[in-house]
Structure 1
């Protein structure tokens, strides 16, 4: 089965902001993708968040919904960012999302209150509403640190807090962490993969399409039905179809052999 998501940030940023994220959803549906990842940072907030209109368009095309918000779960000093957490959970409900994706922020094992986090999530009823909260390794040194992420996930699992991980294959390069080490240590917590590669061009890190070779290395760590996203610049419908086929090739072969 196709479990490939297309985030809206793969398209030119200025076009997405100008035209609205909903205008790209027919293209995503036409590509055969499983769903779309709506990006909070691509809204023109001065005009409000058009969540209702986007929800209607997503449902019209029967697209699975991921909502990504550039919100850090833990504020500086290790305190829970509970007001913004509650805000984006409400937005995810209004959008009809199945996944809400945030960044870790300034988690500190010794001081961050996991019990408070569990209480906030219980009160927001995310489990009853079938909303998954995922934390992604981002491009900051505090939110993309392997050891800190591992400590966080070990702690939330110990306390039975319903949180899993989004594993971004390219973000490790931005914080000089080893992606191979990360996948070995964190794969058991992962529910969603962002697929991309990062190269240094003229002294700047640039996101590029993931190679077939790199994809083969990564997919061996995960179940074949793992939710996965194309997260590199896309120029055309044919490109989206090409990468969906690449990500599904081994899955289809495996299913045929059953």
Structure 2
């Protein structure tokens, strides 16, 4: 029997302006029509800060669940401050918001992690929560370094909190740090619980996320190196002239590749 892989569509794939104008729920409805299993809500795409209020998140989460989708709550907040300390307040707020949404995962940026993972403090914040914490490799030097992620999971293991959090492995974001995704996958695969799928076009400041080509052997090699039983998120932009057809096509393709 073939593996069943959950495919998530990230709200930004529908276009940032469209999400802000139409709201997340419209995008979630399109996500369901495309055949996806999950939908990633992006806090930075809320049209108004009031959208992050618990009652609004509960209503959105209930409507997403009624569509038969599970959700991810993504926030631009970072787990560690610029000087390397755990940002307990940011983690606490993110957990409150993700819990109100009813999310399966809460995804934060790594931030300025240096060497002290503060695993016990993270575990204390997570106590009683049904949301799984994952940190994502970002595009900036702070929070996007391969050495930081290797160091983080090494530090957590030494602190006997190896499983307090997992990783969102963004295949495309490594390009901004000039890291080969396959090299990163070889070192981080045991910690990966969610995959953001995209490639990039352009160079430097003119680099943009893009859909993988069907014959992109390097992209497929990275997927093959990562766990096959974790959700895969579509984070590249759909063609604005055929959004729903694109969404349906890539949900099917990414589940099968």
Please say whether Structure 1 and Structure 2 have the same fold, judged by a TM-score greater than 0.5: yes
Which residue number corresponds to residue 189 of structure 2? Answer: 187
**2:211 maps to which of 175, 192, 209:** 209
Q: Residue 183 of structure 1: CA displacement?
A: 1.1
Which residue number corresponds to residue 19 of structure 2? Answer: 16
Note if 1:197 corresponds to 2:199. yes
| Structure 1 residue matching 2:12: 3-state secondary structure | helix
CA contact (8 A) 2:30 2:244 kept: yes
CA contact (8 A) 2:182 2:225 kept: no
Runs (4+) off by over 4 Å: none
Per-residue CA deviations over 1:219-253 (Å, capped at 9, x if unaligned) read 21123322110110013111112112212225xxx
- State how 1:1-258 maps to structure 2 within 5 Å: 1-49=4-52, 50-109=56-115, 112=116, 114-115=117-118, 117-125=119-127, 128-158=128-158, 159-161=160-162, 162-200=164-202, 204-212=206-214, 213=216, 214-235=218-239, 236-250=243-257
Q: Residue 123 of structure 1: CA displacement?
A: 4.0
Q: Residue 172 of structure 1: CA displacement?
A: 0.8
Per-residue CA deviations over 1:69-89 (Å, capped at 9, x if unaligned) read 001111111111111110010
Q: Residue 120 of structure 1: CA displacement?
A: 4.2
Over aligned residues, Cα RMSD in angstroms? Answer: 1.8
Of 172-181 and 57-66, the range deviating more from structure 2: 172-181
- State how many pairs are aligned: 244
Could you state the TM-score of these two structures normalised by the residue count of structure 2? 0.89
CA contact (8 A) 2:58 2:102 kept: no
Gaps of 5+ in 2: none
Q: Distance in 2 between matches of 1:20 and 1:200?
A: 30
CA contact (8 A) 1:156 1:163 kept: no
Could you state the TM-score of these two structures normalised by the residue count of structure 1? 0.88
Of 85-94 and 197-206, the range deviating more from structure 2: 197-206
Per-residue CA deviations over 1:149-192 (Å, capped at 9, x if unaligned) read 10101112332251111100111111222222111111111011
Gaps of 5+ in 1: 251-258
CA contact (8 A) 1:51 1:91 kept: yes
